[in-house]
Amino acid sequence: MTKAELVSHVADEAGITKTQAATSIDAFIDAVTKTLKKGDKLTLVGFGTFSVSKRAARTGRNPFTGETIKIKAKKVAKFKASKELSGKL
């Protein structure tokens, strides 16, 4: 599903305009981004939890040349589905 399809679906389900739905979705994405940027978790009961995970620096291998390379440490976004959501799949 693309963002445009999600906007259309939300607009239809909520009985609002596509512009209002797009604004709501953008506000949600912004809230999740700001929360994760601060290092906090965002939990939506019945849906799941967004969190930040730290990946340590490690060595990797270039698949074309076989050369060993260093991969820098970084933070990544993580999502864990709730039991309710997992059960519906």
| pLDDT tens track for 15-30 | 999 999 999 999 999 9
Its pTM stands at 0.76
Tell me the β-bridge partners of 53: 76
pLDDT category of residue 52 using cuts at 50, 70 and 90: very high
Summarised one tens digit per residue, pLDDT across range 31-40 is: 999 999 999 9
Summarised one tens digit per residue, pLDDT across range 62-84 is: 999 989 999 999 999 999 999 99
Give the Å distances, CA to CA, from 67 to 41, 59, 62: 38, 10, 5
